[in-house]
Amino acid sequence: MNRKNILITGNRKGIGLHLTKYYLDKGHNVFGCSRSETDFEHSNYAHKVCDVGDEKMVKSTVLEMKKKFGTIDVLLNNAGIASLNHSLLTPGSTVEKVFKTNFYGSFYFSRECAKKMMLNKKGRIINFSTVAVPLDLEGEMIYASSKAAVEKMTRILAKELAEYNITVNAIGPTPVYTDLTKVVPKIKMEELIEKQPIKRFGEFNDIENVTDFFINDNSNFITGQIIYLGGL
Protein backbone atom coordinates (compact mmCIF):
# COMPACT_ATOMS: atom_id res chain seq x y z
CA MET A 1 0.00 0.00 0.00
CA ASN A 2 1.39 3.40 -1.01
CA ARG A 3 1.99 5.92 1.76
CA LYS A 4 -1.23 7.70 2.58
CA ASN A 5 -2.27 10.66 4.70
CA ILE A 6 -4.86 9.39 7.17
CA LEU A 7 -7.12 11.39 9.49
CA ILE A 8 -8.40 9.48 12.52
CA THR A 9 -10.96 11.01 14.87
CA GLY A 10 -11.25 10.09 18.55
CA ASN A 11 -7.78 8.57 18.59
CA ARG A 12 -6.46 9.38 22.06
CA LYS A 13 -7.28 5.86 23.27
CA GLY A 14 -9.03 2.62 22.38
CA ILE A 15 -9.59 1.63 18.76
CA GLY A 16 -8.53 5.05 17.48
CA LEU A 17 -5.15 4.96 19.22
CA HIS A 18 -4.54 1.39 18.08
CA LEU A 19 -5.28 2.28 14.45
CA THR A 20 -3.04 5.33 14.75
CA LYS A 21 -0.08 3.21 15.84
CA TYR A 22 -0.93 0.50 13.31
CA TYR A 23 -0.91 2.83 10.30
CA LEU A 24 2.15 4.73 11.48
CA ASP A 25 3.98 1.39 11.76
CA LYS A 26 2.97 0.70 8.16
CA GLY A 27 4.66 3.91 7.04
CA HIS A 28 1.66 6.21 6.64
CA ASN A 29 1.20 9.78 7.91
CA VAL A 30 -1.51 10.15 10.53
CA PHE A 31 -3.33 13.23 11.79
CA GLY A 32 -5.38 12.58 14.91
CA CYS A 33 -7.89 14.55 16.92
CA SER A 34 -9.63 14.14 20.25
CA ARG A 35 -11.33 16.23 22.91
CA SER A 36 -8.13 16.49 24.94
CA GLU A 37 -4.38 16.57 24.41
CA THR A 38 -2.35 13.42 23.91
CA ASP A 39 1.17 12.54 24.96
CA PHE A 40 1.61 10.24 21.97
CA GLU A 41 4.44 11.31 19.68
CA HIS A 42 5.75 10.12 16.32
CA SER A 43 7.68 11.81 13.53
CA ASN A 44 4.83 11.20 11.06
CA TYR A 45 2.05 12.13 13.47
CA ALA A 46 0.25 15.38 14.24
CA HIS A 47 -2.58 15.99 16.71
CA LYS A 48 -5.22 18.63 17.30
CA VAL A 49 -7.73 19.05 20.09
CA CYS A 50 -11.19 18.97 18.52
CA ASP A 51 -14.77 18.37 19.59
CA VAL A 52 -16.12 16.51 16.55
CA GLY A 53 -19.58 17.91 17.21
CA ASP A 54 -18.31 21.48 16.82
CA GLU A 55 -18.58 22.45 13.15
CA LYS A 56 -16.03 25.26 13.35
CA MET A 57 -13.47 23.08 15.12
CA VAL A 58 -13.91 20.35 12.51
CA LYS A 59 -13.31 22.80 9.66
CA SER A 60 -10.19 24.09 11.43
CA THR A 61 -8.89 20.54 12.01
CA VAL A 62 -9.32 19.53 8.37
CA LEU A 63 -7.60 22.69 7.16
CA GLU A 64 -4.71 22.11 9.55
CA MET A 65 -4.23 18.56 8.30
CA LYS A 66 -4.31 19.74 4.69
CA LYS A 67 -1.65 22.31 5.55
CA LYS A 68 0.48 19.74 7.39
CA PHE A 69 0.41 16.85 4.91
CA GLY A 70 -0.81 18.41 1.66
CA THR A 71 -3.64 15.94 0.98
CA ILE A 72 -6.23 13.92 2.86
CA ASP A 73 -6.35 10.41 1.44
CA VAL A 74 -8.28 8.56 4.13
CA LEU A 75 -10.76 9.52 6.85
CA LEU A 76 -11.50 7.12 9.69
CA ASN A 77 -14.55 8.46 11.54
CA ASN A 78 -13.82 6.59 14.75
CA ALA A 79 -14.96 9.11 17.42
CA GLY A 80 -18.05 7.93 19.26
CA ILE A 81 -19.82 7.74 22.60
CA ALA A 82 -22.49 5.39 23.94
CA SER A 83 -25.51 5.67 26.20
CA LEU A 84 -26.82 2.54 27.92
CA ASN A 85 -30.20 3.30 29.40
CA HIS A 86 -33.87 2.48 28.99
CA SER A 87 -35.50 4.85 26.52
CA LEU A 88 -38.02 6.09 29.09
CA LEU A 89 -35.18 7.07 31.43
CA THR A 90 -33.08 8.86 28.82
CA PRO A 91 -33.07 12.68 29.02
CA GLY A 92 -33.08 14.80 25.88
CA SER A 93 -29.64 16.17 26.74
CA THR A 94 -28.18 12.64 26.44
CA VAL A 95 -29.81 12.15 23.04
CA GLU A 96 -28.36 15.44 21.84
CA LYS A 97 -24.88 14.61 23.15
CA VAL A 98 -24.78 11.15 21.54
CA PHE A 99 -26.06 12.34 18.16
CA LYS A 100 -23.77 15.36 18.19
CA THR A 101 -20.70 13.14 18.54
CA ASN A 102 -21.72 10.04 16.59
CA PHE A 103 -23.75 11.47 13.72
CA TYR A 104 -22.98 15.17 13.47
CA GLY A 105 -19.27 14.53 14.01
CA SER A 106 -19.15 11.89 11.28
CA PHE A 107 -21.11 14.14 8.94
CA TYR A 108 -18.98 17.23 9.54
CA PHE A 109 -15.71 15.37 8.99
CA SER A 110 -17.04 13.47 5.96
CA ARG A 111 -18.24 16.69 4.35
CA GLU A 112 -15.09 18.70 4.98
CA CYS A 113 -12.67 15.90 4.05
CA ALA A 114 -14.66 15.10 0.91
CA LYS A 115 -14.20 18.70 -0.24
CA LYS A 116 -10.41 18.23 -0.04
CA MET A 117 -10.48 14.74 -1.56
CA MET A 118 -12.45 16.05 -4.55
CA LEU A 119 -9.45 18.16 -5.52
CA ASN A 120 -7.41 14.98 -6.03
CA LYS A 121 -10.30 12.99 -7.53
CA LYS A 122 -9.86 10.20 -4.98
CA GLY A 123 -10.34 9.36 -1.34
CA ARG A 124 -11.55 6.85 1.23
CA ILE A 125 -14.07 7.58 3.97
CA ILE A 126 -14.63 4.86 6.57
CA ASN A 127 -17.35 5.37 9.14
CA PHE A 128 -17.88 3.39 12.32
CA SER A 129 -21.22 1.78 13.11
CA THR A 130 -21.94 -1.05 15.57
CA VAL A 131 -23.57 -4.48 15.77
CA ALA A 132 -26.10 -2.82 18.10
CA VAL A 133 -27.87 -1.63 14.93
CA PRO A 134 -28.81 -5.02 13.41
CA LEU A 135 -29.29 -6.61 16.84
CA ASP A 136 -31.79 -3.94 18.00
CA LEU A 137 -30.38 -4.12 21.51
CA GLU A 138 -32.60 -3.06 24.39
CA GLY A 139 -31.10 -0.26 26.45
CA GLU A 140 -29.08 1.02 23.49
CA MET A 141 -31.81 2.74 21.50
CA ILE A 142 -30.11 6.13 21.37
CA TYR A 143 -26.65 4.75 20.60
CA ALA A 144 -27.96 2.35 17.95
CA SER A 145 -30.15 5.05 16.40
CA SER A 146 -27.22 7.42 16.05
CA LYS A 147 -25.19 4.70 14.35
CA ALA A 148 -28.13 3.73 12.11
CA ALA A 149 -28.10 7.35 10.94
CA VAL A 150 -24.37 7.00 10.22
CA GLU A 151 -25.11 3.92 8.10
CA LYS A 152 -27.75 5.74 6.05
CA MET A 153 -25.36 8.66 5.61
CA THR A 154 -22.69 6.21 4.44
CA ARG A 155 -24.89 4.74 1.72
CA ILE A 156 -26.11 8.10 0.42
CA LEU A 157 -22.69 9.78 0.53
CA ALA A 158 -21.30 6.81 -1.41
CA LYS A 159 -23.66 7.70 -4.25
CA GLU A 160 -23.06 11.44 -4.05
CA LEU A 161 -19.27 11.14 -4.03
CA ALA A 162 -18.83 8.27 -6.49
CA GLU A 163 -18.18 10.56 -9.46
CA TYR A 164 -15.15 11.96 -7.61
CA ASN A 165 -13.66 8.48 -7.03
CA ILE A 166 -14.30 8.78 -3.29
CA THR A 167 -15.55 5.60 -1.65
CA VAL A 168 -17.61 5.67 1.54
CA ASN A 169 -18.02 2.52 3.61
CA ALA A 170 -18.58 1.56 7.24
CA ILE A 171 -17.51 -1.09 9.71
CA GLY A 172 -19.74 -2.37 12.51
CA PRO A 173 -17.50 -3.84 15.21
CA THR A 174 -18.61 -6.27 17.87
CA PRO A 175 -17.63 -5.36 21.44
CA VAL A 176 -13.89 -4.80 21.83
CA TYR A 177 -12.19 -4.35 25.20
CA THR A 178 -12.00 -0.53 25.38
CA ASP A 179 -13.09 2.24 27.76
CA LEU A 180 -16.40 2.32 25.87
CA THR A 181 -17.23 -1.27 26.88
CA LYS A 182 -15.83 -1.14 30.41
CA VAL A 183 -19.01 0.50 31.69
CA VAL A 184 -21.25 -2.24 30.30
CA PRO A 185 -22.31 -4.86 32.91
CA LYS A 186 -20.58 -8.20 32.37
CA ILE A 187 -23.83 -10.13 32.04
CA LYS A 188 -25.03 -7.77 29.29
CA MET A 189 -21.80 -8.25 27.37
CA GLU A 190 -22.13 -12.02 27.64
CA GLU A 191 -25.71 -11.86 26.35
CA LEU A 192 -24.57 -9.77 23.41
CA ILE A 193 -21.77 -12.18 22.53
CA GLU A 194 -24.27 -15.06 22.58
CA LYS A 195 -26.30 -13.33 19.87
CA GLN A 196 -23.31 -13.42 17.51
CA PRO A 197 -22.74 -16.44 15.24
CA ILE A 198 -19.03 -16.20 16.14
CA LYS A 199 -19.14 -16.00 19.90
CA ARG A 200 -16.14 -14.00 21.06
CA PHE A 201 -15.07 -10.44 21.70
CA GLY A 202 -13.70 -8.52 18.77
CA GLU A 203 -10.00 -7.79 18.64
CA PHE A 204 -8.12 -4.85 17.20
CA ASN A 205 -6.74 -6.92 14.33
CA ASP A 206 -10.31 -7.78 13.28
CA ILE A 207 -10.91 -4.08 12.72
CA GLU A 208 -7.56 -3.62 10.96
CA ASN A 209 -8.51 -6.28 8.42
CA VAL A 210 -11.63 -4.38 7.40
CA THR A 211 -10.10 -0.90 7.34
CA ASP A 212 -7.17 -2.24 5.31
CA PHE A 213 -9.64 -3.74 2.84
CA PHE A 214 -11.55 -0.48 2.42
CA ILE A 215 -8.35 1.60 2.14
CA ASN A 216 -6.64 -0.70 -0.37
CA ASP A 217 -6.15 0.85 -3.81
CA ASN A 218 -7.79 -2.22 -5.37
CA SER A 219 -11.02 -1.54 -3.43
CA ASN A 220 -11.98 1.42 -5.60
CA PHE A 221 -15.10 -0.41 -6.87
CA ILE A 222 -16.45 -1.03 -3.35
CA THR A 223 -18.58 1.70 -1.83
CA GLY A 224 -21.75 2.13 0.21
CA GLN A 225 -21.08 -1.09 2.13
CA ILE A 226 -21.51 -1.88 5.83
CA ILE A 227 -19.42 -4.77 7.14
CA TYR A 228 -20.42 -6.16 10.52
CA LEU A 229 -17.98 -8.30 12.46
CA GLY A 230 -18.91 -11.50 14.26
CA GLY A 231 -21.02 -13.00 11.48
CA LEU A 232 -24.00 -10.63 11.58
Q: Give the mean pLDDT of 78-96.
A: 92
- Give the chain's domains with CATH numbers: 5-228 (3.40.50.720)
Q: How far apart are CA 48 and CA 64, in angstroms?
A: 9
24-61: pLDDT as tens digits = 999 999 999 999 999 999 999 999 999 999 999 999 99
Tell me what the mean pLDDT of segment 173-188 comes to. Answer: 77
> Taking a C-beta distance cutoff of 8 angstroms, is the pair 131, 172 a contact?
yes
| Distance from C-alpha of 6 to C-alpha of 29, rounded to nearest angstrom | 6
Q: What is the pLDDT, as a whole number, of residue 178?
A: 75
> 40-49, 104-113, 172-181 — which is least confidently predicted?
172-181
* Residue 72 confidence (pLDDT) above 80: yes
| CA–CA separation, 10 and 109 (whole Å) | 12
Mean pLDDT of 97-121: 97
Query: How much is the mean pLDDT over the chain?
Result: 94
| Angstrom distance (rounded) from CA 209 to CA 198 | 16
Q: Can you give the pLDDT at residue 185? A: 76
Query: In the prediction, which pLDDT does 175 show?
Result: 84
- Total residues found in the chain within this entry: 232
Percent of all residues in the chain with a pLDDT value above 70, rounded to a whole number: 97
**What's residue 180's pLDDT?**
66
SS (H, E, C) the chain: CCCCEEEEECCCCHHHHHHHHHHHHCCCEEEEEECCCCCCCCCCEEEEECCCCCHHHHHHHHHHHHHHHCCCCEEEECCCCCCCCCHHHCCHHHHHHHHHHHHHHHHHHHHHHHHHHHHHCCEEEEEECCCHHHHCCCCCHHHHHHHHHHHHHHHHHHHHHHHHCEEEEEEECCCECCHHHHCCCHHHHHHHHHCCCCCCCECHHHHHHHHHHHHCHHHCCCCCCEEECCCC
| pLDDT given for residue 189 in this prediction | 80
Per-residue pLDDT of 190-217, as tens digits, reads 888 888 899 888 899 999 999 999 999 9
Predicted confidence at residue 137, as pLDDT, reads 85
**CB-count exposure of residue 94 (10 Å: 0-12, 13-18, 19+):** middle
Residue 85 CA to its chain's centroid (Å): 23
Q: Is the pTM of this model over 0.85?
A: yes
Residue 122's nearest CA partner among 220, 216, 9 is 220
**What pLDDT does 7 receive?**
98
